[in-house]
Structures are given as structure tokens and as C-alpha cells.
Amino acid sequence: MTPLILIAADLAAISVLTFALYLRRHRRRDLVVSYLGMNVGVMAVAAALSGSAAGVGLGLGLFGVLSIIRLRSTELAQHEVAYYFSALALGLIAGLGIDPVWLPLALMSMILLVMFVGDHPRVLPAYRHQTVILDRAIAVDEELYARLEEVVHGKVHSATVQELDLVNDKTVVDVRYAYVPAVIPAAYPDAIPGAVPPLSEPVSVHASSPAHASAGVA
């Protein structure tokens, strides 16, 4: 009965991880298929090897081999790598069938909780990372940071110059910063493109008597 409980728990956990967390937040379907297939495959192989004396070692070896193959085959973002290893860990925990049964269930729940909190949009929402290409070759750090903060609209924490092209007048910088949204005062609506400034004084229009024109024929 215990293997069936762990299999059901793993299927439920990987469904929560892929559909409720990853797909809703990142919308990449191909990795959903990868997470599901890798999780179930690792669980099946680990369960088949768990009865042998070297089951744990072979399971961990399989974990490492699959990780190397997957990570070398395509480029993944860091949060996608975290989901990938979480899917592998869920399958491995369920397949090995650790006793008592509450321990693997607790470990799978902990993985889901950590991914839910760590990848939540409200956790450090302002901290961002991107590569910026400036249209000037800037070699002075103070000037570089000031220009980057104008471009990214935030506080730059670190800036690593990847390319300083003095011939083409270009700087490629890897930037990590905290985004600060610009606040436009309500008193200056003309700062917003297409906004119509309010009238300073109300304008009243008085109806006048209609003008009559007569035309004469010479």
C-alpha cells in the first residue's frame, strides 16, 4: 500500500508544481511536458531499483546523469532550473520509498512550499537583472552607474561591463538593479503623452442674438 500512496502523492505533487505554480506564472508549455515526463520517469526507475542493494546509489546516479543531459541540451533560466530539479527530487523521493511513509510526504510538501514562496511574484518584485546596451562607450564607473539608473529607472546594485567598444561607441553591461517606478504628479498631466491639461478657470459661453445678413443684388 505504501508504494501506491507515494505514487499518488508524487503525481499530485508534480501536478501542483507544473500546472498550479510553473504554468500559471511562466506560461511555457514545453517545460511542463519535460517536468512531467522527467518526474514520472525518475520515479519509475527509482522504484524499480529500490529493491536492490545499490538502489539508492543508482537512483542518485540517474539523478545526476539526467540533470547533465537536460541542462546541456538547452538554455534554461535559473528559476526553470529550480523547477527542473524540484521535479526530479519529487520523483526520486517517491520512487525510493523511504520509511516511515510520512517522511517522503513531508519532504515533497516542503519542496512545493519552498517553490511556492521562493517564486512568488511578491517576493522581491523590484529586484531585476538584464543586459543593457548603451549607445556610448563609458569607462568611468560613476558616469556608467548614473547613466544606467536613468535607463533602467531604478537603483543599480552592480554593473559588470561585458564589452567596451571604443570604435563603435558602445557599452554592453550586465546590470542588477532594484526597479523604482516613476511617479508622475497629478499637477503635471502634460507629462503624460496625450493628456489634456485642465483649464485653470471655467469658461462660460453666453448665447448672443443671431446675426442676420442681407445680400443685395446690384
Model pLDDT for residues 7-31, shown as the tens digit of each residue:
999 999 999 999 999 999 998 888 8
Global pTM reads 0.68
Residue with more model confidence, 59 or 121 = 121
List of long-range contacts for 201-208, beta carbons under 8 Å, 24+ apart:
none
| The pLDDT value given to residue 215 | 42
Which stretches within the chain are classed as H helix?
Answer: 2-15, 24-26, 29-49, 55-73, 78-96, 102-118, 141-152
Model pLDDT for residues 199-209, shown as the tens digit of each residue:
444 444 444 44
| The pLDDT value given to residue 180 | 84
Residue with more model confidence, 33 or 97 = 33
Average pLDDT, the chain: 79
Residue with more model confidence, 185 or 209 = 185
Phi-psi region of 97 (alpha: psi -120 to 50; beta: other; left: phi over 0): left
| The pLDDT value given to residue 105 | 94
Confidence of residue 68 (pLDDT cuts 50, 70, 90): low
pLDDT above 80 (res 1): no
Looking at the DSSP bridge assignments, the partners of residue 161 are 173
Backbone angles phi, psi at 17, to 5 degrees: -65, -45
| The pLDDT value given to residue 49 | 77
Looking at the DSSP bridge assignments, the partners of residue 154 are 179
Q: What is the mean pLDDT of residues 66-77?
A: 63
pLDDT above 60 (res 61): yes
